[in-house]
Structure 1
Amino acid sequence: MRASRLVSILLLLQSRGRMTARQLADELEVSVRTIYRDVESLHGAGVPLYGDAGHEGGYQLLDGYRTRLTGLTADEAEALFLTGLPGPAAELGLGTVVAAAQLKLQAALSPELRDRSGRIQERFLLDAPGWYHDGDDVPHLAAVADAVWNTRALQLRYRRWREPTEVTRRIEPYGVVLKAGKWYVIGRTDGDFRTYRVNQILSLEQLDERFARESFDLATFWRTHLTDFRSQLIKGEALVRLSPTAVERIPHLMSQQVVDAVAAGRADGDGWVRATVPIESLVHAQTEFLKLGAEVEVLEPAELRERLARTVSDLAEMYLTAPAGIRERSGEVDSP
């Protein structure tokens, strides 16, 4: 464990440059005292590592020093090949780069590790888009990614869901996210960070001006964005009764919030579960509950129950009446 940590310190300093003992400790989840001891061990091993005191101080390697460590474990080598997503990489314009990097990595591995990583590619495939969607058509993605990398401002002509549906925006692109086959760019506009769907960009122009990128944690921003998005979806609640069959089907049809609410419900003597579940809107809830047919009964709110009753009545009238073509052939409809 300690040997692995010493290697990690060396690689962190090599890749990031100067780092304080506190930064190293936080990164490796150990105490500052442990970092001090590890640095002394590296000194003793002849690693050209030195530290500067003061506010701007920290540890760093002697200029020009590079380790040639290639001690990948079998699990690490396999994991590296699992991270390669050829589809998204190609959409970003990096398909050939990823392929070349994998070839170089394979060439550097020992025969045993090369064989194991090859088996990973043969037996595991990561397919990001959902079942009913092949992913976005994103002709502007490569240009967006280039602007993110080179901190170039963008002028977008963008289509949104509310009026006016077509708008023009100047954004400073900070990051790109792939979520369930859909691409998003996070950009700063008028001092605020906002999320834009890349396939809704109608046209764009990469401006000559570069922007000063401020401190920004893309992963943290995205987690917060998802939490806020999900919380804003919930507009109310519905009291429902669910058959055992419906309880089994809920995880495949509805959100995790509904699944959790059903799990917290109470079953009656017949095995039906009574639960209060979150809903986005009456229209959305009506569509969702119709998926379960007679395996669910909405008790409250009354308006949602009435909506479902009307829909069921209309369906019954439609299906209990023979289609027009059949009625005509059977003579039930008079000829003009």
Structure 2
Amino acid sequence: MPTSKNALLRYAVIDACLRRKAHRWTFEKLRREVSTVVGEQSGEGGDISIRTLREDLKNMRSGGATGYDAPIAWDAENGYHYSEEEYSIFNNPLTIDDLVVLQQALGALEQLQGLGISEELHGVVQRLEMRLSYQDGLNERVVLQFEQPANVQGQQWLSQLYTAIKNQQTQWLTYQPFHAPEARREVVHLHLLKQYNGRWFVIGQRHGRLPGASVFALDRIQGVAPSEERYQQSEDDPTTFFANLIGMSVLPRAALLDIKLRFSANRLPYILTKPLHSSQQVDIAEGEEIVRLKVVPTRELITLLLGYGADVEVIEPVELRNQIQMELARALENYQLTTR
């Protein structure tokens, strides 16, 4: 289980005390100091109990739960102290840059809540946050904030689907698409779990159907159960299914298109620094920069382009340009002026 922030703060205070060699730290003096600092910085009153401090010292020592392996010693002359002169639980080369990397990794793992693998890293990151904030005096103000993962529906199926793919076992999926009157139940050979825009999807081959990947949103799955059908591996590498897509929803009869886009001067720098797709290239035509994409059109691509409003113009192909024009005309109909 991850260590609580109050426990991390107590460890930091104990460490600060034991590094102050001019003081003789009896157990009671150490307990009072920890109680005072934790009360001030956490905003929670009350003394730290004798039992809590004993557990903290045990956890900090060699073999303890924290992994600090702190050389905490006691004798009548010096009281509690570090037997190694320069020791501190914060003696490591980690920096704020390391914390950023670990926070990003934790953010990715927290998207896998259904797999339950983020617990240990969460505790590590908490200890690093405490180290940086305690040492730099940043407890009272936030200077680094990360986007929190959404608690999306369907994560309860992650573990079961992951295990099925890993063990190459077919599954019965009970699935109800949006707008479908009822759910359908069928055997699926599962090949890949993929996340897009905060939602989880599983990709597989429907049993008894023509070869071709089908996409199932986890938030539309109503049930998962093992099937006795023999598992069939994908004929193609599943990780390449979406190489030519933006999003997950392939439009009917869609083919790979060479798309040319003209962005406004204000929007273009954002597109250049954060490409829309890995195929993105920039051409210079008549003194202006034209963004090119080579992708299969998807609903998500249409939504993305519409989201840029007047900041983007689809130059080619003409079919996509006409489709965007029709969607914008329909949107405009929602905002016709009304008289009262």
In the superposition, the TM-score normalised over structure 2's length comes to: 0.43
Say which structure, 1 or 2, has more relative contact order (CA 8 Å, 6+ apart): 2
Question: Which of the pair is proportionally richer in helix?
Answer: 1
